[in-house]
Amino acid sequence: MTCPVCEGKLHDVDDITLEVEGYIFIVKGQRCASCKEEFPLEEETQRTITVARKLGVWPEPMKLYRRFSKSGNGLVFRVPADLEKQLQLDEKMEIAISKNGNKLVIETT
């Protein structure tokens, strides 16, 4: 098989490292001899996700729906308490807000 990144030759390996929230998983897959890009096997990736979920470290997709409120000349929205606790947020924390297409991205700094 050839690498989808650089079209180099792929070799079977059993030492691909996946890191999830500080946990290290070693899985089987393929590595490109040219660009060194790694491609874990699908069943290995699924096994890693299953174990990470059991450990409670696999992030579940989250989508919250909220409405903005008016405050002075700007808009605000409320962060739910469970998300505040999970992300260890507090009112003194700085955040970065950026625009990515039609999405707002909020990151803690």
Please report the pLDDT score of residue 18 as a whole number: 94
Q: Is residue 22 part of a domain?
A: yes
Asked if 27 and 39 count as a contact pair (C-beta separation under 8 A), the reply is no
| Residue type (1 letter), 81 | A
Residues 14 and 42 both lie in one domain: yes
Q: Is residue 25 part of a domain?
A: yes
Q: Is residue 17 part of a domain?
A: yes
Residues 83 and 47 both lie in one domain: no
- Decide if pLDDT at 33 tops 80: yes
Q: Is residue 3 part of a domain?
A: no
* Number of domains observed in the structure of the chain: 2
Residues 21 and 46 both lie in one domain: yes
Highest averaged pLDDT of the listed ranges 20-24, 37-41, 52-56, 86-90: 37-41
DSSP code for 92: T
Q: In Å, what is the CA distance from 85 to each residue of 65, 66, 91?
A: 18, 18, 12
Q: Is residue 23 part of a domain?
A: yes
Asked if 38 and 66 count as a contact pair (C-beta separation under 8 A), the reply is no
Contacts of 7 (CB under 8 A, 6+ apart): none
Tokens of 100: 């990515």
Residues of the domain holding 74: 69-108
Residues 74 and 102 both lie in one domain: yes
Q: Is residue 48 part of a domain?
A: yes
- Decide if pLDDT at 26 tops 90: yes
Measured on CA atoms in the order 91, 92, 97, 103, is the torsion positive or negative? negative
Q: Is residue 63 part of a domain?
A: no
